[in-house]
Amino acid sequence: MSTTTLKVPASVNDTSNVVDFARSAAAVSGSSEVLEWHLLIGVMKAAKKLVNTLAGDPKAASSIIVVAELYVGEASGKHKLAVPEISEIAKRVLEQAYEIATQNSATGDIHNEHILLAFLQVGNSFIQGALGQYGLTQKNVLEAIVSLEKGRRLPKSAAAASNDQAVKKTASWFRRLVPW
pLDDT digits (tens, 9 = 90+) for 30-54: 888 888 889 999 999 998 988 888 8
Per-domain boundaries in the chain = 15-177
Pairing of strands 33-34, 85-86: parallel
User: Is the pLDDT confidence value at 166 over 80?
Assistant: no
pTM for the model: 0.62
Q: For the chain, what is the mean pLDDT?
A: 74
Q: Mean pLDDT throughout 129-147?
A: 86
Q: Which of 22, 69, 79, 28 lies closest to 47, judged by CA? A: 22
The CATH number given to 15-177 is 1.10.1780.10
The pLDDT tens digits of the residues spanning 86-131 come to 888 888 888 898 888 888 776 777 888 888 999 999 878 888 888 8
Q: Which 3 state secondary structure label does DSSP give 33?
A: strand
Distance CA 178, CA 85 (A): 9
